[in-house]
Amino acid sequence: MSEAVRHALVTGASSGIGAAIVARLLDQGWQVTGVSRSAGGPAHPRYRPLALDLSDLDAIAPPIGEMRVDALVHAAGLLRVGRLGELPPEDGAAMWRLHVEAASRLADLLVPRMAAGGRVVLVGSRTAAGAAGRGAYAASKAALVGLARSWAAEQMPRGITVNVVAPAATETPMLTDPSRGAVSPKLPPLGRFIRPDEVAAAVAYFLSPEAAATTGQQLVVCGGSSL
């Protein structure tokens, strides 16, 4: 990366994990473009809000334009639950569109313009390994691992890394979303839910110079849930 102020585009920037990532990067001196459906965000001289509905795939390219960034962090997420035969098809399609297709559109636009030292971090989920009642959600998050490893192999000669941070249940509005129905979040063995700032710290590591040799990996921040 250049010695100039580094620029990151962060999706899902208005709340939860995305907001924590924005705060962390601003504290570290980054310039941040925060994507959310509303134009909210911190009042900070290095923060620029970008109102964009990522579920409208054709609406992504125009506001991105010729933007150049040093890092792309895709933290926008959506949870819809339902067992096999019960989840409305449109709910599964919405999760796939936001988690996978929006990530692909953004990467197609931004990664080819990144310089050596560029970074891509996708926020996945520990649930990518599978969980009852969350099959479509798990599938969309598992797809991010496949994308990251494929992109990592492709971008390695350019010095660009691609990784996934996969948290377990995290203290975000998603925990109390009424759409969860009877599928309640599972408390990790740690005895508490993961904090958004802990996920942000993992993302910040992947964006750091110290992580230049780490690519195509998934870091699971699970509080012991995977044990």
3-class secondary structure for the chain? CCCCCCEEEEECCCCHHHHHHHHHHHHCCCEEEEEECCCCCCCCCCEEEEECCCCCHHHCHHHHCCCCCCEEEECCCCCCCCCCCCCCHHHHHHHHHHHHHHHHHHHHHHHHHCCCCCEEEEECCHHHHCCCCCHHHHHHHHHHHHHHHHHHHHHHHHCCEEEEEEECCECCHHHHCHHHCCCCCCCCCCCCCECHHHHHHHHHHHHCHHHCCCCCCEEEECCCCCC
Catalytic residues: 137
